[in-house]
Structure formats: structure tokens, C-alpha cells
A = this chain, B = another copy of it.
């Protein structure tokens, strides 16, 4: 319930600033006896890691995670799991400009308004670097719910969307955009290159699907599965919108068009004829795939000068130099997956608590 903790039973707390010595997370409430080593976490961090293609920031952060507690002889003990990543690529650059002027779209002004001052180096606590720890924690969450498969992808960049008819899950990991449509991936290459060269940036939509969530996970009314997913995803840097199932599209439908009719399926569970609801009814999973979409705004750091004010309140202009992602939504893919995994692991434990 504190400011930097997420979850109810399976909880994680993150700490660290972009340019401090390290960032970390403490995962508490993990069931005991789960096989866990750094090798279970690192691949997810590598997926999020910057500098792997020319389409993301050129910062080089190896992001090597270490487990400092909570694991003994290769298994979780049920006690807190401390994770840490050293910050290594902190350029000793001149931060005097960003220290003085507020970058529009960034948290600079809001942090100063709240706390009176801020750690301005690399964005400090508001840097998306924090999401590395979500990804690390999320890798552990996945192990808690082995029957659930969670997969996210980029659905649109700058308004250019994938063609659903071309959706190929196997394609997602074959291009630097987590794009399931090979044609769209080619188009995006040009889009991002252009944005990067112009010092501009683009927004993106990330879709995520969790398959294998058992009917019954979730809870009324303020621990609803969709409410938790919305909170989790909206807490990701740059996210401005969240949809479950058809989302805003459902607002345009009639009741008939939106009905997820059922017929007898296997094992006594129903077979659904549609999934407008995104796998959740009344805050509780129906057993269908859980579908969620998130909107990422374009990176606020751009080379075009933008009018702003400085700490004294005087007018000035700022252009954000440095190594930035032209489209933060891309590296948001593993972060969304992690947050979904973290919510589901927590909900699984909550469900087990109340319903045995």
C-alpha cells in the first residue's frame, strides 16, 4: 500500500534512480520451493535491454541481475527475494540545463511541485529505467503461474497498425519491434528511422494476451482483475490508456453485438463464441484469454526546442539531447507482459487464500 509497492499477497517494491549506483526490487510473498536462478530472469531483461538495435536508445546497460536473498539451493524459500542491477552506463554529462528547466511531457515540474526538488540526473526516479525491475519481478511471477502463457506485441506505431489478417505470433520475436505482422514491421522500420533522424518520437499501442487464466481468478469489487490490470499498466511510464477486451470499441456496440454467447465446451467449462469482454466478467476471469491493450505516448524527449519555464519561473526553451528511444512503446512490450504476470500471480494467491 505504500508508494513504491505493488500487489496484495505477491508484492514487489522497487527502488533506485537512473543515475544512482544501482536499482533493485524486493519480491515478497513468493511461494516456497520454486526453482529460481538469475538465468530465469535474465532473458526477460535482455528483451527489454536498450541498445540491441538502432531503433532503441543507444545506451549500453548490460542489466545483469543478481539475486541477493530468498533463494537457497536453487529454490525460493518463501522469504523476500532481493534483486539488484548495477547501473553502469551513467555518462558524466552536464545536467545543468535539465536541472534548471522543465522538460515538457516529463515529470520534472510535477516532481518539483511535489517534493520541492528532484534528482534530475537521467530523470532520477521517474526514469523508465525503473521498469527493468518490473521485468525482473515479472519473470518470477511467471514461475508462480506456470500454466499461464503471457505474450505482448506492438499493435501500432504512430497510428500505423498491424493487419489482423497478417497476425503471426512467430513473427513477434523476429523483428526489433515485437511486431506480429512482417509487412508492418518493414513499414515501421522506415517510420522509426525517420523519427530518429528528425530527433522526433512516436507513440505506440501494445497488446497483450494471457492464455490459461482459470475461470475464477479475480475478485469483486475493488480487487477486480480488470481494475488491477488497469492500475498495473497505467503505472508504466508513458502509458495513457488501457483497454480490456474491446475497450472503447465496446462503447460503440449494441448489446447483441457485444454478447459473448456460450455453448457447452469440454470438461464442463463453457465454450465462448466471442470474447468482447477480454476474458473478464464482473472482475473475475471467465477462462477465456485475458486481453488488454495499452497506449504509449511518444517519447517526451525530442530534439525540437519546446517553450518551457525554468525553476525561477522564467520563460526559456529546451531541446532534450541524449540517447533516447524514438518509440518507448517498443521496449514497453516486456514491461506490459511483466505487469500482467505480476497481477495474475497476485490474483492466483488471493484466489487460493479465499477459495482454497
Is A57 an interface residue when CB atoms closer than 8 A count as contact? no
B78 touches A203 (CB 8 A): no
Give complex CA distance A88, B299 in Å.
44
Among A17-25, A38-46, A163-171, A176-184, the stretch that binds chain B is A17-25
**Among B114, B217, B258, contact of A78 (Cβ-Cβ < 8 Å):** B114
Is A33 an interface residue when CB atoms closer than 8 A count as contact? yes
Shortest CB–CB separation between residue A179 and chain B, in angstroms?
Answer: 15
Is A261 an interface residue when CB atoms closer than 8 A count as contact? yes
Give complex CA distance A236, B302 in Å.
37
Is A221 an interface residue when CB atoms closer than 8 A count as contact? yes
**Among B72, B156, B224, B235, contact of A234 (Cβ-Cβ < 8 Å):** B224
Is A158 an interface residue when CB atoms closer than 8 A count as contact? yes
Is A26 an interface residue when CB atoms closer than 8 A count as contact? yes
Q: Per-residue CB proximity of A1-32 to B under 8 Å, as 1/0?
A: 11111111101011111001111101011111
Give complex CA distance A114, B110 in Å.
32
B200 touches A256 (CB 8 A): yes
Residues of B close to A31: CB separation below 8 A: 354-356
B124 touches A281 (CB 8 A): no
B351 touches A352 (CB 8 A): no
A238-260 residues with Cβ-Cβ distance < 8 A to B are 240-260
Is A146 an interface residue when CB atoms closer than 8 A count as contact? no
Shortest CB–CB separation between residue A208 and chain B, in angstroms?
Answer: 14
Give complex CA distance A355, B264 in Å.
34
Shortest CB–CB separation between residue A152 and chain B, in angstroms?
Answer: 15
Q: Per-residue CB proximity of A263-274 to B under 8 Å, as 1/0?
A: 110001010010
A270 touches B309 (CB 8 A): yes
Give complex CA distance A105, B257 in Å.
11
Residues of B close to A28: CB separation below 8 A: 2-5, 13, 15
Residues of B close to A286: CB separation below 8 A: 109-110, 113
Shortest CB–CB separation between residue A213 and chain B, in angstroms?
Answer: 11
Residues of B close to A104: CB separation below 8 A: 259-262
B16 touches A13 (CB 8 A): no
A176-220 residues with Cβ-Cβ distance < 8 A to B are 195, 200-205, 214-220
A105 touches B260 (CB 8 A): yes
Knowing A113-B287, A263-B309, A315-B263, the reply to whether A297 touches B251 (Cβ < 8 A) is yes
Knowing A28-B5, A235-B227, A286-B110, the reply to whether A253 touches B200 (Cβ < 8 A) is no
B22 touches A111 (CB 8 A): no
A288-311 residues with Cβ-Cβ distance < 8 A to B are 295-302, 304, 306-309
Residues of B close to A260: CB separation below 8 A: 104-105
Selected A-B contacts with CB under 8 Å, 29 pairs: A3-B350, A4-B79, A15-B68, A17-B72, A22-B69, A24-B69, A24-B82, A31-B356, A32-B116, A72-B124, A105-B260, A105-B276, A109-B262, A110-B216, A110-B280, A156-B252, A227-B231, A230-B230, A230-B231, A230-B233, A230-B242, A237-B282, A241-B251, A243-B248, A249-B295, A250-B295, A259-B306, A262-B307, A349-B353
